[in-house]
Amino acid sequence: MLDVKIHNLSLKNPVLTASGTFGYGEEFADFIDLSRLGGIIVKGTTGSHREGNAYPRMAETPSGMLNAVGLQNAGVDVFCQKTYPRICDIDTNIIVNVSGSSIEEYCETAAKIDALDKIPAIELNISCPNVKKGGMGFGTDPKMAAQVVGEVRKVYHKTLIVKLTPNVTSIADIAKAVEEAGADSVSLINTMLGMAVDVERRRPVLSTITGGLSGPAVKPVAVRMVWQVAKAVKIPVIGLGGIASANDALEFLMAGATAVQIGTANFLDPTVTVKVVDGLQDYLNRHNIKDIHDIIGMI
Amino acid sequence: MKKHIADFVIAEKKTIGSSYFTLLLKSPEALPEILPGQFVEVEVPDNKEVFLRRPISIHDVDYAANTITLLVQVVGKGTRTLSQLAEGRTLNLVYPLGNGFAIDGQKPLLVGGGAGIAPLLYTAKKYSEKGIRPAILLGGRTAELIPVKEEFRPYGEMFFATEDGSLGEKGLVTQHPAFGQSYDSILTCGPTPMMKAVARHALQNGIRCQVSLENTMACGVGACLCCVTKTDHGHRCVCKDGPVFDVKDMTEWAES
Ligand SMILES: Cc1cc2nc3c(=O)[nH]c(=O)nc-3n(C[C@H](O)[C@H](O)[C@H](O)COP(=O)(O)OP(=O)(O)OC[C@H]3O[C@@H](n4cnc5c(N)ncnc54)[C@H](O)[C@@H]3O)c2cc1C
Ligand SMILES: Cc1cc2nc3c(=O)[nH]c(=O)nc-3n(C[C@H](O)[C@H](O)[C@H](O)COP(=O)(O)O)c2cc1C
Ligand code: FES
């Protein structure tokens, strides 16, 4: 059995896609049966349209990549009117990643998503390293994190997942603060702040100088943080960062994650998500484990 | 158009001059319809330093033989590794990606520079299927850096421009006398400064013009928003909304 629950949200399996790496799901419909996923977390959505950062926004790094997309999206109203009707009938959980630069913006966006019947949860992104105002700022200070989560909690009534940044000294402290403020779950990690230099051109590769590191390079850090947070909070933890195989996912589950997300690995193999689902089932079969819960948090 | 992921087999590899090579890749399945100007995202095996796939244009398609050809210039670690793979190896492709060129106009001009020549062969063939012979103007610093020449000849009238004068006219493609002739459609792929010069000429003269851009990519399918270009209507993905853009939507880009 692979089904798990994140608060009121039932997942047919613990495999979700990470925001910003899977578009709105449609981009991958030619490659996989989307209904086989536990859920799809769509691109970061803000109160109004955002153009994002200038090109270049991406740098390849050892076993990973830096990105500086900067929350380019059409805004919540376009999402509700145009995107939602297109994707709401995909037979899996569609979760919206809600981003913003102010508490008002987070609340306004969350309230609009709350009204959408077929969106059972949001992931509050208080951890984006690629925007000048807000974003990660809310996620690096326990008080500010609690404040934004508390305010969103007042207007959002379904499952509220809060996405944490690894760019902090004690991620467990932030997790505890958002748990107290009313989060139903935490997901981690967002990207790690990094930088790359083009030595021939003698300038940073990214237009924004710094960007967010993702991919296998961050996995050990992410597993460690999931383990620390799972020990510190009672709400379910969703683990991500560098997952590219069922074994990677199992590391996170054993370290305490109830579900996982797959991000950058989708770029290398657009079918990776269903391979991880199959791999998890195969692992349970091989080890005679009936229920995935028997391994969740076993370490 | 449905996108595919498949293991192709390297049926033939040819080295061209000091920096180019072609790969003839055999598909395991019947090829889907491929539009001229579309590209593949190729996985680079055997090199731990290469993390992401690499976007490469589809140079030629043979539906009868179930093969596609890639024309690649070695510019860095990924393309170097691809150049070293032996015939018989498999290569994983995600394809066909992007929008492709619209085959329009009665008197078209194709302008290619360097590796940007790659998508123009299949494009020229598509014109010839419609009974139209485009003018084909290819440029490079030297004759050697124009990797493919004779292959084009059956499909159009050929012109060359080289900066050192080793082939055709000496100078840039935009200085070639054939460039100033009257055309009703221009399709171009090559170095950005070349494409911008072509685009400005087309905009000034009211000629329909399509440019094929080459931004660095991660996903190749419009999911990550890493590959955007500025257009007159904001950021657009080169991988999904492009790689081909109509210059009437790119006036700021052309002037920049
Ligand atoms: C839609 C599309 C179609 C393409 N078609 C072809 C083709 O048919 N034939 C071909 O030879 N090349 C093509 N390219 C360019 C090709 O993708 C790059 O040359 C390749 O990714 C470089 O990989 P590398 O690992 O060898 O270089 P790296 O080691 O990653 O980089 C080496 C150098 O190449 C430059 N570079 C990296 N990526 C690109 C890029 N996308 N465009 C220009 N310069 C780059 C880097 O800035 C660096 O200076 C295409 C690109 C796109 C986006
Ligand atoms: C190109 C790109 C765009 C991203 N956009 C978002 C976003 O909009 N919102 C968000 O919360 N996280 C975003 N992320 C972070 C991922 O969701 C994920 O937390 C991170 O990449 C680590 O997981 P991975 O190593 O599996 O990719 C983005 C990551 C990448 C690579
Ligand atoms: S490369 Fe991901 S959107 Fe174009």
B212-223 pLDDT, tens per residue? 999 999 999 999
* Residues in chain B, pLDDT under 50: none
Whose Cα sits closest to atom 6 in ligand 1?
A: B56
Q: Domain holding B116: CATH number? A: 3.40.50.80
Let me know whether B170 and B60 are in one domain: no
Decide if B98 contacts B118 (C-beta within 8 A). no
Atom of ligand 2 nearest to the CA of B218: 1
- Asked which of B43, B65, B97 is the last residue of a domain, the reply is B97
Dihedral angle, C-alpha B183, B186, B190, B192, nearest 10 °? 100
Q: Which residues line ligand 2 (CB under 6 A)?
A: A 18-21, 43-44, 67, 69, 71, 97, 125, 128, 163, 190-191, 214-215, 218, 240-243, 262-265; B 224, 226
Which chain B residues are within 8 Å of A74, Cβ to Cβ?
A: none
Of the partner residues A30, A64, A267, the one whose CB lies closest to the CB of residue B2: A30
Give domain status of residue B102, yes or no: no
Give domain status of residue B142, yes or no: yes
Reading chain A (299 residues) residue by residue, the pLDDT tens digits are 999 999 999 999 999 999 999 999 999 999 999 999 999 999 999 999 999 999 999 999 999 999 999 999 999 999 999 999 999 999 999 999 999 999 999 999 999 999 999 999 999 999 877 666 666 778 999 999 999 999 999 999 999 999 999 999 999 999 999 999 999 999 999 999 999 999 999 999 999 999 999 999 999 999 999 999 999 999 999 999 999 999 999 999 999 999 999 999 999 999 999 999 999 999 999 999 999 999 999 99
Put simply, the answer to whether A51 touches B235 (Cβ < 8 Å) is yes
Put simply, the answer to whether A266 touches B219 (Cβ < 8 Å) is yes
Let me know whether B123 and B196 are in one domain: yes
Let me know whether B231 and B153 are in one domain: yes
| Global pTM exceeds 0.90 | yes
Let me know whether B148 and B245 are in one domain: yes
Put simply, the answer to whether A55 touches B223 (Cβ < 8 Å) is no
Atom of ligand 3 nearest to the CA of B219: 2
Let me know whether B29 and B60 are in one domain: yes
Neighbouring CB atoms inside 10 A of A62's CB total 11
Take residue B48 and report the two structure tokens written for it: 């731990």
Is residue B78 lining ligand 1, measured as CB closer than 6 Å? yes
Q: Does B239 touch chain A (CB under 8 A)?
A: no
> Distance from first CA to last CA of chain A, Å, rounded?
20
CATH of segment(s) A4-294: 3.20.20.70
Q: Among positive and negative, which fits the CA dihedral A25, A30, A36, A37? A: negative
Catalytic positions of A are 128
The domain tally of chain B equals 2
Let me know whether B91 and B188 are in one domain: no
State the DSSP code for B150: G
Give domain status of residue B208, yes or no: yes
Atom of ligand 3 nearest to the CA of B220: 1
Which chain A residues are within 8 Å of B5, Cβ to Cβ?
A: 31, 269-271
Query: Tell me, what's the pLDDT at A133?
Result: 64
Let me know whether B61 and B116 are in one domain: no
Put simply, the answer to whether A30 touches B4 (Cβ < 8 Å) is yes
Give domain status of residue B221, yes or no: yes
Q: Does B65 touch chain A (CB under 8 A)?
A: no
- Asked which of B46, B66, B97 is the last residue of a domain, the reply is B97
Q: Does B223 touch chain A (CB under 8 A)?
A: yes
pLDDT tens figures, A59-111: 999 999 999 999 999 999 999 999 999 999 999 999 999 999 999 999 999 99
Which range of residues forms the domain containing residue B140?
108-255
Of the partner residues A27, A60, A215, the one whose CB lies closest to the CB of residue B222: A27
CA of A162 to the centre of ligand 2 (A): 14
Q: Does B224 touch chain A (CB under 8 A)?
A: yes
Is residue B47 lining ligand 1, measured as CB closer than 6 Å? no
Take residue B109 and report the two structure tokens written for it: 């001009």
> Distance from first CA to last CA of chain B, Å, rounded?
33
- Asked which of B55, B76, B97 is the last residue of a domain, the reply is B97
Distance from CA of A63 to the nearest CA of B (A): 6
**Cα(A287)–Cα(A2) distance, rounded to whole angstroms?**
14
pLDDT tens figures, A10-40: 999 999 999 999 999 999 999 999 999 999 9
Place of tokens 């349970």: A284
Atom of ligand 2 nearest to the CA of A214: 25
Q: Does B77 touch chain A (CB under 8 A)?
A: no
For B5, how many CA atoms within 13 A lie in the half-sphere containing its CB?
A: 17
Take residue A295 and report the two structure tokens written for it: 């391994």
Helices A171-180 and A142-155, packing angle to 10 deg: 30
Q: Domain holding B27: CATH number? A: 2.40.30.10
Residue among A17, A21, A248 whose CB has most ligand 2 atoms within 8 A, to mutate: A21
Let me know whether B131 and B73 are in one domain: no
